[in-house]
Chain A
Amino acid sequence: MTIFEKIADAVQKGDSEAVEMLVKEALSTGDPVEGILNRGLVEGMNVVGIRFKNNECFIPEVLVSAKAMKMGMEILKPLLAGSGVKSRGKVVMGTIRGDLHDIGKNIVAMLLQGAGFEVVDLGADVPVERFVESAKKENADLVGMSALLSTTMVNMKEVISGLKGAGLETVKVIVGGAPVTGEYADKIGADGYAPDAASGVDVAKRLLEIRTA
């Protein structure tokens, strides 16, 4: 097993301590940052995402693995700027105003990071203006919104209007959450609809025309 495979394996197992040790070991022996990131951390989380999509692992396990990946990312963060590593796209995401339920959004955020996207997570109960401001400030490729209540999902349309009003027509929008349907997504002018957390990554890749290896 290469050091990258060991890192990927530790991410899959959710073993944060092993990830920390292995990433430090890889750096100390001169392994490239891009390899540690893409062939180790991201690959490990990518496998978790595939297993989740195939109903082979449980939701809390995805988040335990995400913690392990994040542990490695924290070590790499200061080195990434000078390494030339590029993300697959930048996603601004959050739970819509009035909605405090954020587990679906959190899982999608972790899986997107695992698929190589850069995620700016705005959290829960996010005002319309903040989605728009952040999309502009971060130069986002995608905006992802989730809602668990039928009373709050109506605010998604306001975000889409706000993005257009701010001249951000090229930013793609994905929506999801228990009361949201594909029909509703079309009606409010969203570019994509994710019926569940696992399919969120596929929809993001499709919208940004990223080929799955």
Chain B
Amino acid sequence: MKPGNIPVITIEEETIPLAYERAIREVWEKGIGIKTEYDHPEDPPSKDATVMIAVREPFGQPRFHRSFADGLGGLAEYVMEVVHGAHDYWVKPLEEILKGTESKDTRWTYTYHGRLFEYAVEGEVVNQINYMIEKLSRTGHTRRAQAITWNTKLDPPTEDPPCLQRVWGRLCEDDDGGYIFNMNTHWRSRDLFKAWFENVIAITTLMRKIAEAVSEKTGKPVRLGRYVDICDSLHIYGSYFREIQGDPEKGIKSFFEKLESRSFEERTWNSGFIKPFFIDDGVGKGLRPMLAREKEMPGSVRDAVAEELRKMEEEDYVV
């Protein structure tokens, strides 16, 4: 790539952890050094690339990498936030959002669930995921089943606008009379090292939810196909370089040494190991502690999270 041109990287792997590791390696090795709005003055420029990642089996095992910036219970709560709107009540009122960076209210300006399931337009609220389900159920080969997040009025003035921009899906027929659900997501910007993995666990859980809803509506089996993740800017922040490069003088390993010191099995977990921690991680996070702690969560959302908890406890449910 000529100087000043952002590199373009394409990755295809069988599972999420394989794709994740390869993305970190490739962005680290091939990414352009570029400043971001979030860098501290003393940080080196971030590594950045435009990246398309295809995961052939989004629920293939092992599904969980061990490198992410949260605990397992925290990850479970994040999945509930994206799929069921568990934290939509943390969004500040519209009049505060409209103040942009002048607002002193530190609550959030959006959630992905809020934008995908309750997108506000012309005084109405549109459930775009329901639209996708309806559209795919009627016309599986449609190219119009999509949901957007960007709000052209609310997002430009805020300090932290949505990274996810669009979710798109399409059905293909399989050989057994059922469907295969293919899904793409498009991201404006993405923290590869500390957000990508958790985002993908949540968004592929949403992918499965859409597939299940289409199956129920059509009466036909719908299997999950490949998941494709497209980022305009997939980056590793300069502030993470110390963690990635390590410090041999102080005996601190580099991220890649850490990976290489273990087998692939020792740096990943399968869904069976994860499930009890999703229920309750023993240190205050997970679905059960979340329901006990977050008293202000609206009743319908609480019911949806409680139903997820029930399925995890009672059924052969893969997280």
Contact = CB atoms under 8 A, between A and B. Distances in A.
A149 B160 CA distance: 11
Interface string B258-283: 10010000010000000001000111
Interface in B56-81: 66-75
A53 interface: yes
A134 to B, nearest CB: 17
A58 B254 contact: no
B283 A100 contact: no
Given A54-B251, A103-B69, A67 B283 contact: yes
Nearest to B87: A100
B254 A55 contact: yes
Contacts of A149: 106
B68 A67 contact: no
B66 A60 contact: yes
Contacts of B74: 103, 106
Q: For the complex, would chain B's binding face be called helix, strand, loop or mixed by DSSP majority?
A: loop
The listed residue with most B CB atoms (<10 A of its CB), out of A54, A55, A98, is A55
Contact of B106 (A60, A66, A151): A151
B290 to A, nearest CB: 12
B252 interface: yes
B88 to A, nearest CB: 13
Given A70-B283, A151-B104, A60 B254 contact: no
B68 A59 contact: yes
Contacts, number: 72
Contacts of A106: 71, 74, 283-285
B282 A67 contact: yes
B106 A152 contact: yes
Contacts of B281: 63-64, 67
Given A64-B277, A70-B282, A110-B283, A56 B68 contact: no
Interface in B279-307: 281-285
A173 interface: no
Contacts of A54: 251-253
A175 interface: no
A138 interface: no
B106 A58 contact: no
B262 to A, nearest CB: 9
Contacts of B71: 59-60, 63-64, 103, 106
Given A151-B104, A151-B106, A55 B283 contact: no
A-B pairs with lowest CB-CB distance, top 7: A67-B282, A98-B106, A63-B71, A58-B66, A55-B253, A103-B70, A58-B67
Given A60-B66, A67-B282, A178-B239, 9 more contacts: A56-B253, A58-B68, A59-B67, A59-B70, A60-B71, A64-B277, A66-B282, A67-B283, A121-B284
Interface of A: 16, 53-61, 63-64, 66-67, 70-71, 98-100, 103, 106, 110, 121, 149, 151-152, 178, 181
Interface of B: 40, 66-75, 90, 104, 106, 239, 243, 246, 251-255, 257-258, 261, 267, 277, 281-285
